[in-house]
Amino acid sequence: MFKVSGKHSIYSMSPDNEPVLSVPAGSKIEFETNDCFCGQIKSENEEFGGLDWSRINPATGPLYIEGAEPGDILCVKIDNIEIANQGVIVTGKDISLLGCFLEKNSIKIIPIENETAIFSEKIRLPINKMIGVIGVAPKDCAITCDAPDYHGGNMDCKEITEGITLHLPVNVPGALLALGDLHAVMADGEVGASGLEVAGKVSVSVDVIKNKTLPSPMLFTDNHIMTIASHEDLDEAVNMAVLHMGEYLKNETLMKMDEIAMLMSLSGNVGICQVVDPKKTARVAFPKDLLDMMK
């Protein structure tokens, strides 16, 4: 297995980033990741003003995948996520959707034991390990790691977890895959401003589908396929995710478009990934067994 150290952090996904490692398609890679604050928060008494905000949402990489070319799809299977034994969560007046109720910024450091986040003496939360930031280089510009877009990035989709396969459009030679921003616990929306942010390690398997592309990321679980889209306007993010799913079903099945629309209305579930990043992220999930019936 190839390994990429957390020392190789980037804060923007860019076609100009130099790859830290080149691997052939079919490889397994372990990424060591920092938490979204790059380990800067050591105490609940720290002030946000003391943070270096240029070191937020680091991603580890990028990784050059041999044979991946523009017009291809990069397949990333999440084999394993290992997280640290404690995480940090923050909220505040100017960063939370609940800011109207808050007078100041707050930090909470939360221990993690036996697959459980210990929020308080009475409150225990089951962990749901997921990857907040994962993506490839955009075609012709740099996009900061705190922002999601067609290349992936900070989608904060809690479905990006162990066992799934993420498809990403390849925009530059080698794709330049990077990932980070792990969460031990996070709900859809991430409305308080952050999940339970943790450092950790992620093991993935990479492969390439030649001469086939996507308008934005797609997710494949045991039971569902999902389209993911991001936009400054949440309604538009939903529209994009719905249209991408409709286009996928049109291309992959023998169904007429009116019947596809009906089946999406009956069985296609719209979900919100996050609403606190520069662009909001939505997803549409469609059952795999129904997809099989449509072919």
Cα–Cα distance measured from residue 288 to residue 149, given in angstroms and rounded to the nearest whole number: 25
pLDDT at 98 over 80: yes
| Closest C-alpha to 184, from 283, 82, 56, 282 | 82
Whole-number pLDDT of residue 51: 82
Number of other residues whose CB lies within 10 A of the CB of residue 169:
24
- Residue 193 gets the label, from left (phi > 0), alpha (psi -120 to 50) or beta, of left
Kindly report, residue by residue over 206-241, the tens digit of the pLDDT.
999 999 999 999 999 999 999 999 999 999 999 999
Q: What is the mean pLDDT of residues 113-133?
A: 97
Domain 2-41+51-85+128-218: give its CATH architecture: Sandwich (2.60)
Q: What is the mean pLDDT of residues 159-176?
A: 98
pLDDT at 48 over 90: no
Q: What is the mean pLDDT of residues 152-165?
A: 98
Helix (H, G, I), strand (E, B) or coil at 80: strand
pLDDT at 49 over 90: no
CATH 3.10.28.20 fits 224-293, yes or no: yes
pLDDT band at 53; cut points 50, 70, 90: confident
Amino acid at 2: F
Please, what is the Cα angle at 53 between 274 and 119, to 5 degrees?
A: 55
Q: Which residues contact 246 (CB under 8 A, 6 or more apart)?
A: 257, 260, 261, 264
| Domain residue ranges in the chain | 2-41+51-85+128-218, 224-293
Q: How many helices (H) and strands (E) does the chain have?
A: 3, 23
- 94 vs 9, more confident: 9
| Element of type H or E holding 88 | strand 86-91
pLDDT at 59 over 80: yes
Number of other residues whose CB lies within 10 A of the CB of residue 245:
23
The residue whose two tokens read 């959707």 is 97
Kindly report, residue by residue over 170-205, the tens digit of the pLDDT.
999 999 999 999 999 999 999 999 999 999 999 999
pLDDT band at 46; cut points 50, 70, 90: confident
